[in-house]
Every structure is written in C-alpha cells, then in structure tokens.
Amino acid sequence: MGDDVQKITPYLTLALEKGADNAKIIDVASIITAPWVRLKCQFGCYGYGRSLCCPPHTPTPEQTRQVLDSYTHALLLHLHWRKGYTVLQKFNEMVVALETTIFLDGYYKAWAMGSGPCRICKTCNTTGTCLHADRARPAMEACGIDVFATARGNDFPLRVVRTHKEERNIFGIVLVE
C-alpha cells in the first residue's frame, strides 16, 4: 500500500462513523464513465433538468472523465438504502461532510459526488447559481459515471431493483489527491 493511500485510510473509518455501511479506497482509473448513463436521467428520472445537480446542468461524461483523470484515488462510499428519501439526503450530506473534512485536512482538490437528485431546495434555482453550493453535489450518474460497473469493478455486489419498494444500494465518491 502506497504512502498516499495510507494517509487517506483514516477517512474510511470516518465514513463508517458518519453512516456509510462500507467504504473503500479505489483507483480513479476504475471509475467508469459512459455517454449512455445520462440518458437514464433524461428518460427515467423526474429530476432531469429540475436541479443544478442533474443533467443537463452537470458535467458531461467527457468532462467528468477529464476531472477524474486529474486524481489518483477516491473513496467509494456505500449505503444499503432500506426505505425513505430522507436516508438518501442524509447519505448525500455525509458525502459532502466527508469532502469538507478531507479538504480542511489539506487535500485541497477533494471533491464529492453523491447519489440521486438533490433535494435541498423545494424548487432549484436552475436559471442562476446554486443557493446551497456548500451542501449540494451532483450524483455520480448525473455526471455520466456508470455506478453499476464502477461498484461491481470494485467488489461491491449490485443488482437492478425491480420495483420502487425494494431495498437498494447507493454509492457516492470523494475524489482525493
């Protein structure tokens, strides 16, 4: 294990303390982007175009790949989501809090992506700037990250849920350099 990985290992424990079920340091090269991913947002998600954290307001898969390529490691965070959107919002808040802690510890490039549409504002200020830029981050999938391939490639089992009532697994990342 490289020295840089050892230095960020304590953040795995912090992620678990903050509510993640699992956390793992991954090589950023294992994060898969693909142009089709945002189509799932456009044709299947109510949040499309309604939030600055959702497409078409988010980085394209190509832009995301360029950003990812300027990092070496990321924390891949996992939560088994049982029920309720408050769980999703709390997970996303945890991801941003972890990013903030890592940034304040001197990792000035730390940046996070959560899961699902942002729910901070009842109506997003899509014609201007984000009113909660300190708390809001785009979802991995909103930026063209293939969450299934990324999770599976990093040894997290993940299956397609068949109904909205089923429990599911959600993921977030914090890029660290």
Task: Spell out the SS3 assignment of 15-57.
Answer: HHHCCCCEEEEEEHHHCCECCCHHHHHHCCCCCCCCCCCCCCC
pTM of the model: 0.94
Query: CA 58, CA 63: separation in Å to the nearest integer?
Result: 9
**Cα distance from N-terminal residue to C-terminal residue, the chain:** 15
Number of residues written out for the chain: 177
pLDDT given at position 89: 87
pLDDT in tens, the chain (177 residues): 578 899 999 999 999 999 999 999 999 999 999 999 999 999 988 889 999 999 999 999 999 999 999 999 999 999 998 766 578 889 999 999 999 999 999 999 999 999 988 889 999 999 999 999 999 999 999 999 999 999 999 999 888 988 878 888 999 999 999
Angstrom distances, CA of residue 34 to CA of 60, 106, 143 = 9, 31, 9
Contact, 62 vs 21, CB < 8 A? no
Q: Which domain holds residue 71?
A: 2-176
pLDDT given at position 21: 96
State the CB neighbour count (10 A cutoff) for residue 70. 10
pLDDT given at position 59: 96
Decide: helix, strand or coil at residue 174: strand
pLDDT given at position 17: 97
pLDDT given at position 85: 59
Query: CA 72, CA 30: separation in Å to the nearest integer?
Result: 10
> Which residues are registered as beta bridge partners of 23?
77
**CB contact set of 6 (below 8 Å; sequence gap of 6+):** none
State the CB neighbour count (10 A cutoff) for residue 4. 12
Structural domain total, the chain: 1
pLDDT given at position 29: 98
